């Protein structure tokens, strides 16, 4: 019985884990499929950013303390619902874009 419960817990945790690639899909219209575009011709190109740099930027937008290239309001709306796990996952994914 304990094995079954443990297996179910592990399986459900895996299903609930944030998927950075999936989360990034909503970013592609502005940043490009591989993060290769300057969003709205204003932002930096995020392709290959270090995960810590991306997480810092996303957390700043979420908190309303980052206003890079005048994009603070737009980005705050984009990341407002992201959990810490979502931000970690999307940051790790962006770091893989080369």
Structure tokens at 66: 């980052």
CATH of the domain at 49: 1.10.760.10
Q: Which residues contact 91 (CB under 8 A, 6 or more apart)?
A: 20, 51, 52, 54, 55, 58
Domain assignment of residue 83, given as a range: 19-96
| Higher-pLDDT residue of 26, 2 | 26
Question: Tens digit of pLDDT for each residue in 16-67?
Answer: 568 999 999 999 999 999 999 999 999 999 999 999 999 999 999 999 999 9
Phi, psi of 48 (to 5 degrees): 75, 10
Number of domains into which the chain is organized: 1
pTM for the whole structure: 0.81
Q: Name the one residue in this structure whose structure tokens are 């190109």.
A: 45
Q: Token pair of 17, please?
A: 């884990």
Note whether residue 5 is domain-resident.
Answer: no
What is the Cα–Cα distance from 17 to 15, expressed in whole angstroms?
6
């Amino acid at each position: 019985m304990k094995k079954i419960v443990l297996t179910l817990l592990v399986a459900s945790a895996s299903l609930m884990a944030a998927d950075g690639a999936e989360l990034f899909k909503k970013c592609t219209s502005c940043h490009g499929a591989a993060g290769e575009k300057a969003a709205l011709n204003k932002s930096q190109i995020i392709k290959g950013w270090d995960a810590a740099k991306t997480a810092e930027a996303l957390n700043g937008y979420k908190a309303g303390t980052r206003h890079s290239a005048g994009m603070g309001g737009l980005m705050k709306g984009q990341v407002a619902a992201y959990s810490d796990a979502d931000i970690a996952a999307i940051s790790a994914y962006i770091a893989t874009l080369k």
